[in-house]
Structure 1
Amino acid sequence: MARIVLGIEYDGSGFSGWQWQPNQRSVQSELEKVLSKVANRPVTTICAGRTDAGVHALEQVVHCDVDVGREFHAWLLGGNSYLPDDIRIIWVKQAVSDFHARYSAIARLYRYIILNRPVKSALQGKQVTWCYYPLDAEVMNKAAQHLVGNHDFSSFRAQGCQSKSAFRMVHFVDVCREGDTVIIQICANAFLHHMVRNITGVLMDIGMGKQAEDWALTLLAAKKRELGGVTAPPYGLYLVSVYYPACYGMSKHPAFNKLPEDAKRFD
């Protein structure tokens, strides 16, 4: 049995999410169906972080155990030749040592893109979230800094979140404006269900002037989801990259250079 690791890119707008669901189109089901065809036997995958319906990935990391001899280019080219147009395998490599796509990860990086102009996009309807009301990205960025650190994010988790603990370590949050686009980038050791979308909803209310800059801090202290405002839509959300200890030989996204040294202690 050999373990291979794959980088997967997908447009989540046509899927019920990453995970297998009965009678639903999921990224996992499409990918496993194709990998099983290449292997000529069933293949099961495990990902770094399950994404919700409508959420995209620039580099989801997946591993699977296979007992057939295939060159890496066979998985890459063969897999992509069978995959639908909204999923692509972007790289394949041999797993090093005890690598596990989920449990070996130190941090995940997400990006949320908001088109902030009076008119919706004709081209990016399912790739960005549209907000016609002017957003103050500088104020949003200041508010976001209250979330950095190890906190109880109960006010920012979905009501049905199944995680046993609401504590997460947020390494950094950046909010900036590029023309008509406001971009939120957030990195944490892991995320609760809907955590990024709920944080985005709070920051958007602050950016519109509906709430004060310290509202995010107030919500952290409250630990009550019902006080936390609107959950932002899924379409502007992207899993950008996953950070692993250097011993696994995985490439690092440049944004991870901002990780504090204690988060990179395994490197």
Structure 2
Amino acid sequence: MSEAAARNLKVVIEYDGSAYVGWERQKNGLGIQEVMEDAVHTITRERVVVEGSGRTDAGVHALGQVASFRIDKEIQVEKLRLGINAVLPPDIAVLLIEEVPSDFHARRSAKSKRYRYTILNGPARRPHFRHVSYHFPQPLDEAAMDEAAGYLVGEHDFTAFAREADQKKTCVRTILEARVVRDGAFLYIDVVGTGFLYNMVRIITGTLIEVGAGKRDPGSVPALLLSKRREQAGYTVPAQGLALVQVDY
């Protein structure tokens, strides 16, 4: 396939990540990228690389993952979407396909990403939501959590919120928005940034939970950032509460 001649397609994908090892194709299990590439091949008979806007980890979901790939086949994009969805498993769906300029790349062209972490904050477990939320039964002060989240906005060194393996690289990232809101028993932690470290949102969430539980002061976050020490931050919350909501270009 000639890259210059190929059609460049942008796809928006929703998935339940519970059964997958993450977005990327991996040797140790089934990734969503592999499932997507196989589905495209089934419909077009072309082998493609479906490039995601970024990897989501094992058990993490997406409401608006964006990917791109190139094909030579002349097929209407809506017909292609319907065909791909017909062969995808029930926990993955293509919401949109559109043709884009040849220089568009799902990852390199992205300007920002929005992640949401969902906490079920009440005494009773809710089995219906067990795959898409993290149950934390003790009371949480969402106002204190929201105050603490505000200190994360801006360009900072997020070494304290990075796993050790990532600390050899630059951990400077820019957060555009960080909010905590409550809707009944559910707390939503929304974080928008130009880029994220592995487990960064989950470590941020664990830290904010400790603030909400009264174990940390909201005003301690700036010093935590300056410490650049992972052990000073909160715990890494489970994956199932996290979803990639939107990618902006």
User: Does the CA contact (< 8 Å) of 2:113 and 2:248 recur in 1?
Assistant: yes
User: Does the CA contact (< 8 Å) of 2:177 and 2:192 recur in 1?
Assistant: yes
User: Does the CA contact (< 8 Å) of 1:206 and 1:215 recur in 2?
Assistant: no
Gaps of 5+ in 2: 1-5
More divergent stretch after superposition (134-143 vs 158-167): 158-167
Report whether the alignment pairs 1:191 with 2:196: yes
User: Does the CA contact (< 8 Å) of 1:7 and 1:90 recur in 2?
Assistant: yes
Report whether the alignment pairs 1:77 with 2:82: yes
Match of residue 216, structure 1, among 216, 221, 237:
221
User: Does the CA contact (< 8 Å) of 2:9 and 2:99 recur in 1?
Assistant: yes
> Which residue of structure 1 lines up, in the alignment, with residue 59 of structure 2?
54
Residue 43 of structure 1, CA deviation: 1.4
Measure, in 2, the Cα distance between the counterparts of 1:68 and 1:160. 42
In the alignment, residue 91 of structure 2 is paired with which amino acid? D
Aligned pairs for 1:35-184 within 5 A: 35-161=40-166, 164-184=169-189
Query: Matched residue pairs, number?
Result: 244
Q: Secondary structure at the match of 1:147?
A: coil
1:14-66 deviation per Cα after TM superposition (whole angstroms, max 9, x unaligned): 11100111140111111111011111021111011110011100010000011
Measure, in 2, the Cα distance between the counterparts of 1:222 and 1:162. 13
1:183-232 deviation per Cα after TM superposition (whole angstroms, max 9, x unaligned): 11110001011110000000000000011112322210100112212101
Residue 96 of structure 1, CA deviation: 2.3
Residue 163 of structure 1, CA deviation: 7.6
Measure, in 2, the Cα distance between the counterparts of 1:92 and 1:41. 17
Measure, in 1, the Cα distance between the counterparts of 2:53 and 2:79. 23
Measure, in 1, the Cα distance between the counterparts of 2:217 and 2:245. 29
> Which residue of structure 1 lines up, in the alignment, with residue 7 of structure 2?
2
TM-score normalised over the length of structure 1? 0.89
Aligned pairs for 1:247-262 within 5 A: none
Measure, in 1, the Cα distance between the counterparts of 2:132 and 2:150. 26
Measure, in 1, the Cα distance between the counterparts of 2:197 and 2:179. 19
Q: Secondary structure at the match of 1:235?
A: helix
4+ runs of 1 displaced by more than 6 Å? none
1:106-136 deviation per Cα after TM superposition (whole angstroms, max 9, x unaligned): 1100111100001111101111011001110
Measure, in 1, the Cα distance between the counterparts of 2:199 and 2:169. 15
Sequence identity, in percent?
39
Measure, in 1, the Cα distance between the counterparts of 2:213 and 2:35. 39
Gaps of 5+ in 1: 245-267
> Which residue of structure 1 lines up, in the alignment, with residue 22 of structure 2?
17
User: Does the CA contact (< 8 Å) of 1:163 and 1:192 recur in 2?
Assistant: no
Measure, in 1, the Cα distance between the counterparts of 2:52 and 2:139. 37
Measure, in 2, the Cα distance between the counterparts of 1:27 and 1:202. 29
Q: Secondary structure at the match of 2:22?
A: coil
User: Does the CA contact (< 8 Å) of 2:125 and 2:135 recur in 1?
Assistant: yes
Measure, in 2, the Cα distance between the counterparts of 1:212 and 1:165. 27
